[in-house]
Amino acid sequence: SHLSYCMSFACYMLIPKQMRVNGFPCKDPMAVNPEDFFNPAMLDQPRDTKNSKVGSNVTNINVINFPGLNTLGISLARIDYGPLGVNTPHIHPRATELLTVLEGTLYLGFVTSNPNRLFSRVVKKGDVFVFPKAMIHFQMNLAHDKPAAALSSLSSQNPGVISIANAVFGSNPPISDDVLATAFQVEKKLIDWLQSQFWENNHY
Tell me the binding residues for Mn(2+). Answer: 90, 92, 97, 137
Q: Sheet holding 105-111: strands in order across?
A: 118-124, 105-111, 136-141, 86-91, 162-163
Mapped onto helix, strand or coil, the DSSP state of residue 202 is coil
Helix, strand, coil % in the chain, rounded to nearest 5: 20, 30, 50
CB crowding 117-156: b at 16 or more within 10 Å, else e: eeeeeebeeeeebebebbbbbbbbbbbeeebbbbbbbbeb
Please state, in angstroms and as integers, the Cα–Cα distance from residue 129 to each residue in 8, 13, 40, 90, 137, following that order: 29, 38, 26, 16, 11
Task: Report the binding-site residues.
Answer: 87, 90, 92, 97, 137
Are the C-beta atoms of residues 190 and 182 closer than 8 Å to each other?
no
Q: Where is the binding site for oxalate, in residues?
A: 87, 92, 97
